[in-house]
């Protein structure tokens, strides 16, 4: 596709870059003890925790498996597992 | 990912504290902004042609001129009458604001230009490979202040940008950390409402550069606050109006233990060096009354 | 009724810029640009000009302020000289690469070290590769006229490039000449407000200044090169429109003076070419067939126009008010290159003249004409004082060999 004048870029086009391929481990949300505090959502550097109420999931297209959500969950309802590919 | 202003798909490291802080800041700022970004991690990870992670108007010019470009934009909006309340935000890291871009920041502040400047302090030039900056803390390892038989890492203290901002008469000056997202939100919103310069100094723990597992970013960020090594403060018109209280400060050593960049003063144990860092923490605690309750 | 009055060159430039209604003016003072920005500051202070006039802390800041304002869609202006041009050079490359219009006056001045505040072209030459358009003015009238054209060229959607208008420091900026300035309404008709969709706007967010890796960068540089080349026709068009609107002749990139039947031609830029034209007249009166070519447009380089105006049997002396140290005359090398590309074997001698404000007089030109009788050479420094050169005096004198010369003391 032709490079536009000044090489300007359209907004939000990074969504095409699915960084989920970076993962070596994946967060597993157990949905057993969730209190709906949303800390997992607040603290995700990739802004890819989605959900509402007491049900949240990582968007696996982007999740890099950093493990912050599992670390910050106050009730330990998220565990990190090695990911088999 | 409904309408997040900084989208996923960026190439920041797993657990990056800077991009986390940046997302919190831009969400609090809202879409009616124009962002000027300095060269650095936040710029590189969000704007590789032909992709951009930004949903707001955004410009990267050079490394050292972020504040000047921002000043020019707000002047243009004013003169064209097209501002419609849009706020210009200048963003950058250690280099952009403490070092190579320091003059430009000073100029923007001195002129009283209506720009919110946010410094993402990851305490070194991370994008180019962890080199020492004016914000690198005492005794930290960086690739240009490495440890060796003749030297224990960086020998200089952090440049005090909070005081420098206050000396310029910047009406709103605050520090914050991604450990406390609501605090970032409150401070960004407050800064947005200032007609004039404002400055937020955002701690940005860097797993790669500081040497910790990306899962521990929030833990490390909290330790920085809890030891007094990163005081979270807020100044309005030169008055210290609030701070994040640290009732019983953790020993500085707990913070040092969490990061490989201080390993050289823990193994073998260097009491004098550890005491030097503790003294920095103690000075912060005294200076900002961190153990006391802030005024209501 | 346009005004026609005696005024300082700086004032003519300031008035012309003010007539163009810039939104944002940002500059840092440096001799000999200072009067330009001071005149503009006064116009803003008196409410005659509605612009944001920002006294920034350096030329890097001034150019960056202008870049930001331009990216936001505004009409912008800055001015500098010498060290200031060098300090803002990063931003000039940045403006060009991001295809942002702006008008920059370069009040040509020598570069340090040693420090020297007087005229030559070393400053603007240092940024010739950046991707900006460079125009060189002959006198105060042309300086004013070129600024008005510059805004239109810069903002043209086929161009969208920074335009640097080069005016000789002191020789134009501080000299008083009769200048005719157009009326505001006439300039408004010639130069409509800037229009662009490609700008920083929360209603239509865009990302400017993304980084381009090996897979993309080279194409962007090809695009920029083509943009500068394409600006040639826009410069001609705007010049022709200016002639129609205001009567003074523009549009040609190279102005030829008595060149057609000349045996020897002097090629150069800027105000010294006025002196050269006077010298040509004097020499012609003595029966010598001399002519001159004055480049008004330096970037894009009008190679084909130069070749069209030079004949193979002419002797060409290029007057460089600058030098590429260790290489030679810059304009000389580009002229030679153009002739070579056109398969022309015209001999070219490159003269280095007027550095640091050393005067170029009609008498100088007649001595250069004599030197053109000798073998072509490059980087022949003109009017040096051999007593100051010690051992190098012989080296210098040998560049004038084969011709009996009378040295200026």
Nearest CA to C118 out of C275, C334, C280, C272 is that of C272
Count of Cβ atoms closer than 10 Å to residue C174 Cβ: 17
Q: What DSSP string describes B119-160?
A: EEE-SSBTTTTSB--TTPPTT---SSS-EETTEES--SPPP-
**Arithmetic mean of pLDDT over chain A:** 96
pLDDT category at C1 given cuts 50, 70, 90 is low
Token pair 């959607």 is at which residue? C157
Q: What is the pLDDT of residues B60-71, one digit of tens each?
A: 999 999 999 999
State the burial class of residue B9 (Cβ atoms within 10 Å of its Cβ: 0-12, 13-18, 19+). buried
Residue of A2, A6, A12, A13 for testing the chain C interface, max C β-carbons within 10 Å: A6
Once rounded to an integer, what is the mean pLDDT over residues C142-146? 98
Interface list for B 45-64 with A (CB within 8 A): 46-47, 49-56
- The backbone region for B228, taken as left when phi is positive above 0, alpha when psi lies in -120 to 50, beta otherwise, is left
Residue of C72, C93, C96, C99 for testing the chain A interface, max A β-carbons within 10 Å: C99
State the burial class of residue C29 (Cβ atoms within 10 Å of its Cβ: 0-12, 13-18, 19+). middle
Structure tokens at C4: 């026609």
Domain assignments of chain B as residue spans, ordered by start: 17-287
Q: Which domains does chain C have, with CATH numbers?
A: 3-246 (3.40.50.970), 254-398 (3.40.50.920)
C9 pLDDT higher than 60? yes
Domain assignments of chain A as residue spans, ordered by start: 20-82
pLDDT at position C409 is 34
pLDDT at position C406 is 44
- Cα–Cα distance for residue pair C216/B172, rounded to 1 Å: 41
C106, C77 contact by CB (below 8 A):
no
DSSP B214: G
pLDDT at position B296 is 76
Looking at the complex, does the CB of residue A6 fall below 8 Å from at least one CB of chain C?
A: yes
Helix (H, G, I), strand (E, B) or coil at A1: coil
Q: What is the largest CA-CA distance in chain B?
A: 63
Structure tokens at C389: 């050169």
Compare CB distances from C68 to B58, B71, B107 and report the shortest one's residue.
Answer: B71
Q: Residue C64: closest CA among chain B residues belongs to which residue?
A: B69
Q: What is the pLDDT of residues C182-237, one digit of tens each?
A: 999 999 999 999 999 999 999 999 999 999 999 999 999 999 999 999 999 999 99
- List the end-to-end C-alpha distance of chain C, in Å, as a whole number: 49
Nearest CA to C264 out of C247, C284, C285 is that of C284
B35, B233 contact by CB (below 8 A):
no
- Cα–Cα distance for residue pair C231/B226, rounded to 1 Å: 60
Once rounded to an integer, what is the mean pLDDT over residues B256-271? 97
**Regarding predicted confidence, which is higher, C365 or C2?**
C365
Looking at the complex, does the CB of residue B45 fall below 8 Å from at least one CB of chain C?
A: no
Residue of B5, B8, B60 for testing the chain A interface, max A β-carbons within 10 Å: B8
Helix (H, G, I), strand (E, B) or coil at A69: helix
C296, C136 contact by CB (below 8 A):
yes
B152 pLDDT higher than 50? yes
| C256 Cα distance to chain centroid | 17
Q: What is the CATH number of domain B17-287?
A: 3.40.50.970
**Could you give the percent of chain A with pLDDT greater than 90?**
95
Looking at the complex, does the CB of residue B122 fall below 8 Å from at least one CB of chain C?
A: no
Chain A hits for B52, CB-CB cut-off 8 Å, are 9-14
**Arithmetic mean of pLDDT over chain B:** 97
Q: Are strands C315-320 and C52-55 parallel, antiparallel or unpaired?
A: unpaired
Q: Where are any strands of DSSP class E within A1-85? A: 25-29, 49-52, 55-58, 78-82
Residue B1, strand partner residues:
none
pLDDT category at C4 given cuts 50, 70, 90 is confident
- Structure pTM? 0.96
State the complex-level ipTM: 0.96
CATH number for A20-82: choose from 3.30.70.20, 3.40.50.1820, 1.10.3720.10, 3.40.50.1220. Answer: 3.30.70.20
pLDDT at position C10 is 98
DSSP C113: S
pLDDT category at C2 given cuts 50, 70, 90 is low
Q: Are strands B233-236 and B239-243 parallel, antiparallel or unpaired?
A: antiparallel
C75 pLDDT higher than 90? yes
- Cα–Cα distance for residue pair B61/C68, rounded to 1 Å: 9
Q: What is the pLDDT of residues C239-298, one digit of tens each?
A: 999 999 999 999 999 999 999 999 999 999 999 999 999 999 999 999 999 999 999 999
Chain B hits for C213, CB-CB cut-off 8 Å, are 48-49
Q: Is the peptide bond preceding residue C114 cis, with omega within 30 degrees of 0?
A: yes
C407 pLDDT higher than 60? no
Q: Residue C222: closest CA among chain A residues belongs to which residue?
A: A3
């Amino acid at each position: 596709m032709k490079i536009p004048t000044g090489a300007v870029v359209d907004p939000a086009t990074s969504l095409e870059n699915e960084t989920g391929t970076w993962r070596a481990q994946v967060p597993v949300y157990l949905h057993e003890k969730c209190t709906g505090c949303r800390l997992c959502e607040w603290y995700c550097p990739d802004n890819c925790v989605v959900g509402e109420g007491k049900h949240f999931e990582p968007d696996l297209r982007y999740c890099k498996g950093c493990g912050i959500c599992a670390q910050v969950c106050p009730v330990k309802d998220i565990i990190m597992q090695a990911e088999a590919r | 990912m409904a309408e997040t202003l900084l989208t996923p798909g960026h190439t920041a490291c797993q657990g990056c504290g800077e991009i986390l802080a940046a997302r919190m800041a831009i969400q609090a700022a809202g879409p009616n902004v124009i962002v000027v970004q300095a060269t650095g991690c936040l710029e590189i990870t969000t704007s590789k042609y032909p992709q951009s992670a930004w949903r707001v108007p955004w410009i990267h010019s050079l490394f050292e001129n972020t504040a000047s470009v921002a000043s020019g934009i707000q002047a243009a909006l004013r003169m064209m009458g097209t501002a419609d309340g849009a706020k210009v935000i200048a963003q950058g890291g250690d280099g952009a604001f403490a070092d190579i871009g320091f003059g430009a920041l000073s100029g923007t502040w001195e002129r009283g230009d209506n720009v919110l400047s946010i410094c993402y302090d990851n305490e070194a030039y991370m994008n180019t490979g962890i080199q020492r900056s004016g914000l690198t803390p005492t005794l930290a390892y960086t690739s240009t202040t490495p440890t060796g038989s003749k030297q224990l890492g960086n020998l200089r203290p952090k440049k005090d940008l909070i005081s420098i901002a206050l000396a310029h008469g910047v009406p709103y000056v605050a520090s914050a950390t991604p450990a406390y997202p609501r605090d970032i939100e409150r401070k960004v919103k407050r800064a947005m409402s200032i007609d004039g310069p404002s400055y937020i100094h955002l701690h940005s723990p860097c797993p790669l550069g500081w040497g910790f597992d990306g899962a521990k970013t929030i833990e490390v960020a909290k330790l920085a606050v809890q030891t007094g090594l990163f005081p979270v403060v807020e100044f309005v018109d030169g008055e210290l109006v609030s701070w994040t209280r640290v009732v019983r400060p953790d020993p500085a050593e707990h913070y040092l233990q969490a990061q490989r960049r201080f390993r050289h003063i823990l193994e073998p144990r260097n009491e004098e060096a550890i005491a030097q860092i503790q003294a920095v923490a103690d000075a912060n605690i005294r200076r900002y009354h961190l153990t006391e309750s802030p005024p209501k | 009724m346009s005004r026609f009055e005696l005024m300082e060159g700086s004032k003519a430039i300031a008035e012309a810029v003010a007539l163009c209604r810039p939104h944002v003016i940002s500059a840092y003072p440096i001799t000999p640009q200072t009067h330009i920005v001071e005149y503009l500051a006064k116009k803003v202070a008196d409410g005659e000009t509605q612009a944001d006039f920002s006294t920034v802390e350096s030329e890097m800041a001034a150019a960056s302020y202008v870049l930001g304002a331009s990216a936001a869609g505004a009409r912008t202006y800055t001015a500098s000289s010498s060290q200031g041009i060098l300090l803002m050079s990063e931003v000039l490359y940045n403006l060009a690469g991001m295809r942002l219009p702006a008008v920059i006056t370069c009040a040509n001045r020598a570069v340090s070290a040693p420090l020297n505040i007087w005229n030559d072209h070393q400053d603007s030459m240092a940024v010739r590769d950046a991707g900006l358009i460079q125009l060189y003015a002959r006198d105060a009238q042309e300086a004013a006229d070129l600024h008005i054209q510059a805004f239109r060229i810069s903002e043209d959607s086929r161009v969208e490039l920074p335009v640097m208008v080069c005016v000789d420091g002191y020789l134009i900026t501080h000299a008083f000449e009769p200048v005719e300035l157009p009326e505001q309404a006439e300039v408004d008709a010639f130069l409509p407000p800037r229009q662009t969709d490609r700008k920083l706007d929360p209603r239509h967010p865009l990302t400017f200044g993304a980084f381009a890796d090996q897979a993309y960068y080279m194409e962007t540089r090809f695009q920029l090169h083509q943009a500068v080349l394409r600006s040639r026709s826009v410069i001609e068009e705007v010049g022709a429109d200016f002639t129609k609107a205001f009567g003074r002749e523009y549009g040609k990139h190279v102005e030829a003076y008595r060149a057609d039947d000349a045996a020897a031609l002097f090629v150069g830029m800027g105000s010294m070419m006025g002196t050269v034209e006077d010298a040509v007249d004097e020499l012609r009166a003595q029966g010598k067939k001399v002519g001159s070519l004055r480049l008004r447009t330096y970037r894009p380089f009008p190679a084909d126009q130069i070749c069209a105006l030079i004949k193979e049997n002419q002797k060409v002396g290029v007057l460089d008010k600058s030098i590429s140290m260790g290489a030679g005359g810059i304009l000389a090398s580009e002229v030679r290159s153009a002739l070579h590309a056109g398969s022309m074997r015209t001999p070219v001698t490159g003269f280095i003249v007027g550095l640091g404000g050393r005067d170029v007089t009609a008498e100088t030109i007649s001595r250069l004409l004599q030197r053109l009788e000798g073998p072509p050479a490059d980087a022949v420094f003109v009017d040096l004082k051999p007593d100051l050169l010690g051992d190098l005096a012989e080296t210098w004198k040998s560049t004038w060999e084969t011709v009996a010369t009378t040295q200026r003391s």
